[in-house]
Structure 1
């Protein structure tokens, strides 16, 4: 069973539709036991970090997510919340991945938020297989994670940043896999086959 964590995130339905297109009927749930029992867990996210962390803590989902041992995929804000801290309203996050989330500083006329298609590079793990180098994925974000020891793929907007992260059983994408066409489907398939 694939559990998609239900916690007031904006892109839950599009994640469920993307899984459906791959023939996977996922369960949308905030139930602790159901999430812990799932074969794989998806932690999607659209929204603001501090509000979302408050929502997770209120429901005890912060403790559940940190305790997961099965493959778990964070998407967009879901990826950022897996990190230690976000500059967005000075928010302590889950601390699963010991990295900081920073706000883009606009340069050379580039706008924040970063919206649109960007290419992947340095793809080098089970989620980001080498044939994905140079492929394009879809972003909508104002905050990013710097390149670091848990970076599994890179993109660039004003500076190189982590397109993906991987630590132990936790995988994450800054971009929206569910809105990234065939490339997104490939990454979802890679996750489902872990």
Structure 2
């Protein structure tokens, strides 16, 4: 199965690539049209800013291709946030607008960024969380959030409750970094790849 890690020009792909390899797959890193079309799974990695990532997608002319992708796609951290309308981090940038909600700054008088391990809990049953214990800890590193909404499948709390994972059709997103979350993160990635 062809697994593609989407090259946004601003992410550190090594940890995602090694995690996927540990699961027995050989991922490619690309943003070429032909590679995207022929892939069976896409992982949209999560480092950078909305401005820089969307700029790459626009220059490569793959925005509509990503929006219309029909196989499972997983957005990690920023990758998940780009599925939304826009982010307070780059207010002038229109994101992919697949999910009609916006990303806001985590503003609750706690230290930012939110960094480290945090428990997640189900909002609804979902294949992404199959055979993962309720309250499992995942590794977070971010300061922008998506509040809970009808697409939220996992939630967490850092001062306030917010979306830890979401799904809309074939678009899955996680605010945390499964590739840095040890065994439980690998299990979540395995669940995604086996959808």
> CA, structure 1 residues 182+104, in 2 after alignment: closer, same or farther (shift >3 Å)?
same
Q: What is the deviation of 1:121? A: 0.5
2:105 corresponding residue in structure 1: 103
Q: Aligned equivalents of 1:52 and 1:30: distance in 2?
A: 11
Distance 2:122 2:30 in 1: 34
In structure 1, runs of 5+ residues without a counterpart are: none
Aligned residue number for residue 16 of structure 1:
17
Which stretch has the larger CA shift, 28-37 or 145-154?
28-37
Alignment partners' CA distance in 2, 1:96 and 1:67: 9
Shift of 1:99: 1.5
Does residue 115 in structure 1 map to residue 115 in structure 2? yes
Structure 1 residue 49 displacement after superposition: 1.2
CA contact (8 A) 1:75 1:173 kept: yes
Deviates more, 1:4-13 or 1:148-157: 4-13
More strand by share: 1
Residue of structure 2 in register with 1:137 after alignment = 138
Residue 87 of structure 1: CA displacement?
A: 0.8
Residues 1:97 and 1:4: Cα distance change in structure 2 (over 3 Å): same
Partner of 2:30: 29
Mapped contact 1:83–1:93 kept (Cα < 8 A)? yes
Runs of at least 4 residues of structure 1 off by over 6 A? Answer: none
User: What's the offset of the Cα at 1:132?
Assistant: 3.1
Q: Aligned with 1:56: secondary structure?
A: helix
Give the equivalent residue in structure 2 for 1:42: 43
- Report how many aligned residue pairs link the two structures: 192
Could you tell me how far apart the structure 2 residues matched to 1:31 and 1:132 are?
37
Structure-to-structure mapping, 1:1-194, within 5 angstroms: 1-90=2-91, 91-107=93-109, 110-122=110-122, 124-129=125-130, 131-194=132-195
Is the contact made by 2:4 and 2:41 (CA closer than 8 Å) also made in structure 1? yes
Post-superposition CA distance 1:12-53 (Å, at most 9, x none):
111001011111101111111211111111111201112221
SS in 2 for 1:54: helix
Q: How high is the TM-score relative to the length of structure 1?
A: 0.95
Q: Take 1:173 and 1:104, find their aligned partners in 2: how far apart are those partners?
A: 16
TM-score normalised by structure 2 residue count: 0.94
Separation of aligned partners in 1, 2:90 and 2:74: 24
Please report how far the alpha carbon of residue 163 of structure 1 lies from its aligned counterpart in structure 2 after TM superposition: 0.4
Q: Distance in 1 between matches of 2:71 and 2:171?
A: 8
